[in-house]
């Protein structure tokens, strides 16, 4: 007998029953009766596979998903110090608004924590869009008092953290201009961003970090991580809890069950204004990088198969590398903080062997010996031993300088 579990339906209800080509889209109606509370409403929100509901019922539904993600895992203790990471995107503003709302409820429903807000300035030039960025951040600060807002530049020193009211961007000698490929540049930016988050959280004595990743972001991240050689840590890349940050800081993704449609409706309902101005789109050929192409692939696939995102990112929770039962002193990558493999896999050997053949192929043919090839393979495997395979690939795409 066939049985269908709850997980097989994902977050979109019975979307697995949809045929290719069906792509129902949600919509906002001007007026009508809410199917939940039976009250007349000036505006109704119609999500996929849900009845039309008023603004209050919709907000209650979405906020419940946020609280349920934290409550089910039981990972956030009472009165925890948390750091909210925003980047100006719609999902980061939704996270900020949800946390602020949760702290304004009565004692029973209140989210008992102390929150600070961090914005990482990743623009290629601090002069560009400076006024609009500061205006947007100051507008958020006024709206979400009494949260403290901090800003730090992506390529700045970790100690250069400033309060928003004191923030003055500086022109830095950015390492982002030295990458030979936009894929490596974006991968570096992501890992550097995570590194800074851990350092800032430790400095502000925050034990938990809230990251605004939603389901489509996590599905894209899973596929991208596998393609970039981060398969050993892909489970932590998409899980609710990521414990790889420095100083025993734990990163949480409480919006992981939200989809794009719910985020856009929430932004509309709360009249939020996204202002993302970070650097990737400012670089030439940035649209052709692996990360952006993967996101386009997931988005296009989602149009025809509505359960794609849910299926992909939920699979990531079940992927984990084999570990020895005997506990040993584990070593971590100096950039991404992922575990380093002490044993060299056959896959890595094959990759480095192929690269060595490409580099010394002519010389090998002249000497009629494999000594040069074997020596080069050993040199490659021992280079930058403090970095994982994926971060060594980033280093290889750097025209000058080092990642750390």
What CATH number should be reported for the domain holding residue 291? 3.40.50.620
What pLDDT is stored for residue 21 in this prediction? 34
Q: pLDDT by residue (tens digit) across 46-82?
A: 888 788 899 999 999 999 999 998 887 788 888 899 9
Coil, helix or strand at residue 83: strand
C-alpha to C-alpha distance for 357 and 207, rounded to whole angstroms: 47
For residue 337, tell me if it sits in a domain. Answer: no
Average pLDDT, the chain: 81
Are 279 and 154 in contact by the 8 Å Cβ rule? The answer is yes
Structure-block tokens of residue 374: 């074997």
Of 71-75, 268-272, 393-397, give the lowest mean pLDDT range.
71-75
What pLDDT is stored for residue 18 in this prediction? 37
Candidates 186, 193, 252, 258; CA nearest to 224 is 186
For residue 193, tell me if it sits in a domain. Answer: yes
For residue 70, tell me if it sits in a domain. Answer: yes
For residue 283, tell me if it sits in a domain. Answer: yes
Q: Are residues 294 and 356 in the same domain?
A: no
C-alpha to C-alpha distance for 390 and 188, rounded to whole angstroms: 10
Q: pLDDT by residue (tens digit) across 18-57?
A: 333 333 456 777 788 988 898 888 888 988 878 889 999 9
Which of 297, 316, 335 represents a domain boundary (last residue)? 316
* pLDDT above 90: residue 223: yes
Phi, psi of 173 (to 5 degrees): -80, 90
* Whole-number percent of the chain with pLDDT over 70: 78
Q: Are residues 230 and 376 in the same domain?
A: no
Q: Are residues 300 and 366 in the same domain?
A: no
Cβ-Cβ contacts under 8 Å for 3 (sequence gap 6 or more): none
Q: Are residues 225 and 351 in the same domain?
A: no
Mean pLDDT of 392-401: 84
Phi, psi of 84 (to 5 degrees): -90, 125
For residue 364, tell me if it sits in a domain. Answer: yes
Residues spanned by the domain of 301: 6-24+55-316
Q: Kindly tell me the burial class for residue 78, based on how many C-beta atoms sit within 10 Å of its own C-beta (0-12, 13-18, 19 or more).
A: exposed
Q: Are residues 354 and 278 in the same domain?
A: no
Q: Are residues 179 and 305 in the same domain?
A: yes
Q: Are residues 13 and 66 in the same domain?
A: yes
Q: Are residues 361 and 268 in the same domain?
A: no
How many independent structural domains does the chain possess? 2
Are 30 and 42 in contact by the 8 Å Cβ rule? The answer is yes
Higher-confidence residue: 280 or 244? 244
Are 276 and 89 in contact by the 8 Å Cβ rule? The answer is yes
């Amino acid at each position: 007998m066939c049985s269908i579990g709850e997980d097989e339906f994902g977050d979109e209800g019975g979307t697995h029953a949809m045929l290719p080509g069906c792509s129902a889209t949600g919509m906002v109606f001007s007026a009508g009766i809410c199917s939940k509370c039976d009250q007349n409403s000036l505006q109704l929100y119609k999500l996929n596979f849900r009845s039309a509901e008023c603004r209050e019922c919709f907000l209650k539904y979405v906020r419940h998903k946020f609280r349920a993600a934290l409550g089910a895992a039981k990972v956030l203790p009472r009165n925890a110090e948390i750091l909210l990471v925003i980047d100006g995107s719609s999902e980061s503003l939704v996270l900020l608004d949800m946390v602020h709302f949760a702290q304004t409820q009565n004692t029973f429903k209140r989210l008992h924590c102390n929150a600070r807000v961090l914005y990482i300035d990743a623009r290629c030039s601090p002069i560009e869009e400076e006024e609009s960025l500061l205006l947007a951040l100051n507008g958020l600060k006024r709206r979400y008092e009494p949260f403290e807002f901090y800003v730090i530049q992506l390529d700045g020193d970790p100690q250069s953290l400033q309060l928003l009211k004191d923030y003055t961007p500086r022109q830095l000698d950015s390492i982002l201009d030295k990458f030979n490929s936009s894929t490596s540049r974006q991968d570096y930016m992501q890992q550097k961003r995570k590194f800074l988050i851990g350092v800032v959280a430790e400095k502000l004595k925050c034990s938990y970090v809230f990251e605004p990743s939603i389901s489509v972001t996590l599905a894209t991240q899973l596929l991208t991580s596998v393609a970039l050689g981060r398969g050993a840590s892909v489970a932590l890349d998409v899980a609710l809890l990521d414990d790889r940050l420095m100083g025993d800081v734990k990163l949480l993704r409480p919006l992981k069950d939200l989809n794009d449609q719910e985020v856009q409706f929430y932004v509309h309902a709360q009249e939020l204004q996204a202002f993302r101005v970070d650097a990737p789109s400012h670089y030439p050929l940035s649209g052709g990088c692996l990360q952006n192409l993967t996101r386009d692939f997931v988005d296009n696939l989602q149009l025809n198969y509505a359960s794609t995102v849910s299926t992909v990112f939920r699979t990531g929770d079940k992927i984990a590398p084999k570990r020895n039962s005997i506990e040993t002193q584990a070593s971590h990558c100096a950039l991404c903080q992922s575990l380093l493999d002490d044993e060299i896999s056959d896959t890595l050997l094959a990759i480095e062997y192929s690269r060595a053949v490409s580099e010394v192929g002519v010389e090998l043919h002249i000497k009629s010996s494999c000594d040069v090839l074997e020596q080069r393979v050993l040199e490659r495997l021992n280079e930058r031993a403090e970095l994982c395979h994926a971060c060594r690939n980033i280093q290889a795409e750097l025209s000058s300088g080092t990642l750390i």
